[in-house]
C-alpha cells in the first residue's frame, strides 16, 4: 500500500470520454434575419503609439463572423467589444442623434 505525503497534490483523474455528435446539434442562426451561414471577417482595434509595445501606432486584427446574408455581426460572435464610430451602425440604419456614446459599444458575452 503506498502512502501519500500530506504535502503531495492528489493526481488528477482522466476525464471520461463523452460520445458527442456535433452534427446532431442545432445550427447557430443569425439573430437578425435567421440565416444559418456566417463568413469570417476581420475587425481592427486601433492601438495608439503611447501604449504600443514598439512606440508606433498599430491596427490589431480581431477575427469575427458576420451573417452571410444580411451582414449582421451578432454580439456573441465578437471576441472583443466593438466600438461603433459616430455615424455608423451594424445594420446600415442611420443612428439616432440622441444616442448616448456608451450605448455605441457592443459588449461580448464570451
Domain ranges of the chain: 26-106
Residue pLDDT, tens place only, 60-93: 888 889 999 999 988 887 766 666 666 555 554 5
Q: What was the pLDDT predicted at 32?
A: 92
| Contact in structure between 31 and 74 (CB atoms under 8 Å) | yes
Distance between CA 102 and CA 82 in Å, rounded?
Answer: 12
Q: What was the pLDDT predicted at 90?
A: 54
Q: What was the pLDDT predicted at 37?
A: 95
Residue pLDDT, tens place only, 20-48: 888 889 999 999 999 999 999 998 888 88
| Contact in structure between 93 and 70 (CB atoms under 8 Å) | no
Give pTM, 2 decimals: 0.53
Buried (b) or exposed (e) across 57-91, using 16+ Cβ within 10 A? eeeeeeebbbbeeeebbbeebbeeebeeeeeeebe
Q: Would you tell me how many other CB atoms lie within 10 Å of the CB of residue 21? A: 6
Amino acid at each position: 500500500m503506498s502512502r501519500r505525503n500530506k504535502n503531495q497534490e492528489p493526481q488528477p483523474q482522466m476525464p471520461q470520454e463523452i460520445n458527442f455528435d456535433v452534427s446532431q446539434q442545432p445550427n447557430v442562426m443569425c439573430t437578425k434575419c435567421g440565416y444559418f451561414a456566417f463568413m469570417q471577417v476581420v475587425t481592427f482595434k486601433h492601438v495608439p503609439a503611447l501604449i504600443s509595445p514598439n512606440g508606433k501606432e498599430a491596427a490589431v486584427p480581431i477575427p469575427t463572423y458576420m451573417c452571410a446574408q444580411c451582414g449582421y455581426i451578432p454580439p456573441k460572435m465578437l471576441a472583443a467589444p466593438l466600438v461603433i464610430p459616430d455615424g455608423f451602425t451594424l445594420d446600415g440604419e442611420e443612428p439616432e442623434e440622441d444616442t448616448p456614446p456608451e450605448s455605441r459599444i457592443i459588449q461580448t458575452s464570451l
